[in-house]
Amino acid sequence: MRFSLGKLAPREAKLKLSTYLKHPLPAPPAEANTEALPIWDANMFGNDTVGDCAIAGPAHETLFWEKHNGNAVANITTENVLQMYADVTGYDPKDPDSDQGSVVADVVAYRRTHGLVDADGKKHTIAVGLGLSLTRDSVKQVINLFDACGLGIQVPSSLMDQTNNAQSEGTLPTWTVVDDSPIEGGHYVAALAYDKDYVYVNSWGMVCRMSWQFFDQYADEAWAYLSQEDLNGQGISPDGFDLRQLQEDIKNL
């Protein structure tokens, strides 16, 4: 099976989660969301042929949020994802040279201001995206509190081999560190669960297990997403989170 990438070099987030934590959060639980593995979607969203991973990832996140919370599931199609890719980057399916990938920070900004429009015309927006420090605890906290963490990684060729081998064997792809494996490019994945050994991501419509050692070596950006419902006080917010200051800062973006 063909797998494309498409994440360009990271650009620093304008707002960071750590800014709004008034005191340290309790340690994250040993695992989170692992019971939800069976509800993940299997859509490629075009990332087998074009470098739209940073748009396909948000589509996976949106579907997971809805399914995990028992809400109506959005009718998100590959065409919807490719349209957002075009809107963010200028991609033109008639011009292969326009398929240049995207900067995650640009996609985050677009998700806030425009959103992903599904096949029924519904816009799926976020209130804000917050940059994270690249630590295991940060990723665990965000998955536990907000059900998803956007991860940018550098992809060694060993990851492609591990994914293809698992596909041929009908097993779960497991990404581990292989010494001296050359980098093929950048990739965005939706991290939706974790346990002591792995962070579980939806990539190319598959559940893939990323070892924490792999995360330590290859992750180059991480994002937390807050919904409009959270910021309106209708959803959950972690204790000690400076919601009012965040709301003020969002107005200045």
Residues 122-171 have pLDDT tens digits of 999 998 999 999 999 999 999 998 889 999 999 999 999 999 999 889 88
Q: Give this prediction's pTM.
A: 0.94
Distance CA 112, CA 35 (A): 29
Residues 71-81: what's their mean pLDDT? Answer: 94
Distance CA 170, CA 203 (A): 16
Tokens of 109: 């900004």
Which residue ranges form the domains of the chain, and what is each CATH number?
28-231 (3.90.70.10)
Residues 54-72 have pLDDT tens digits of 999 999 999 999 898 888 8
For 34, 61, 112, 122, the CA distances from 189, given in Å and listed in that order, are: 17, 9, 19, 23
What is the band of 235 on the pLDDT scale with cuts at 50, 70, 90? low
Residues 178-187: what's their mean pLDDT? Answer: 97
Do 148 and 189 contact (CB within 8 A), yes or no?
no
